[in-house]
Structure 1
Amino acid sequence: MGEFKNRINVIINDKHYTIVGTDNPEHIRYVANLVDEKLKELGRKNAGLDTTRKAVLTAVNVMHEKVQLEEENYKLQQELQQYKNRENQ
């Protein structure tokens, strides 16, 4: 038998969506709210963009942030490994 999946109703960009997943419902709502805020922010800065363009640009911005965080995480892990290596010498 499969895992229990939550069905969470959210509003993103003034449209209703049902998100299905195993994550905590509050986490799903939080993430949906972040997406909604990103879309609204982009819309305020770039009036006249249609929904598809806002969604694509929002996705690009979020992925850019994700890549930056991954790169920062990698650098920090390397620094941590260097400190551990120094301690073991």
Structure 2
Amino acid sequence: MSGEKKRYKATIAGKSYTIVGSRPTEHLQLVAETVDEQINQIKSLTDNLELDKMAVLTAVNAVSDQLEMQIEMEKMRQKITELETKLAKFEEG
């Protein structure tokens, strides 16, 4: 039942949040831990940056990583298509 919403209580940057989602609890926990780690990394690199600004920087980093992964995935799809074409030509000949 992947459509069923789950609630997960998390502590991120010392504050409590309830995350609601249809993913498994383990996934929600990993997301919360990753966000907390990234905010703590940003906090360690900056002086007196407010939590909302750290959250925005964390979001910017996450979107940047996501876009890089999408680019890599598209490159892999293109490579797979090329290899499938070569394989089909090899099997024909």
Distance in 2 between residues matched to 1:51 and 1:72, nearest whole Å: 31
Q: Which runs of 5+ in 1 are unaligned?
A: none
Q: Which runs of 5+ in 2 are unaligned?
A: none
Percent identical pairs in the alignment equals 31
Distance in 2 between residues matched to 1:7 and 1:75, nearest whole Å: 36
Aligned partner of 2:55 in structure 1 is 55
Corresponding residue pairs, total:
87
Distance in 2 between residues matched to 1:77 and 1:52, nearest whole Å: 37
Show CA shifts across 1:57-82 (max 9, x none).
11001110110011011001101110
**Which runs of at least 4 in structure 1 moved beyond 2 Å after TM superposition?**
none
Q: Does 1:68 align with 2:68?
A: yes
TM-score by length of 2: 0.88
TM-score by length of 1: 0.92
Kindly name which structure, 1 or 2, has the bigger radius of gyration based on alpha carbons. Answer: 2
Match runs of 1:20-35 below 5 Å: 20-35=20-35
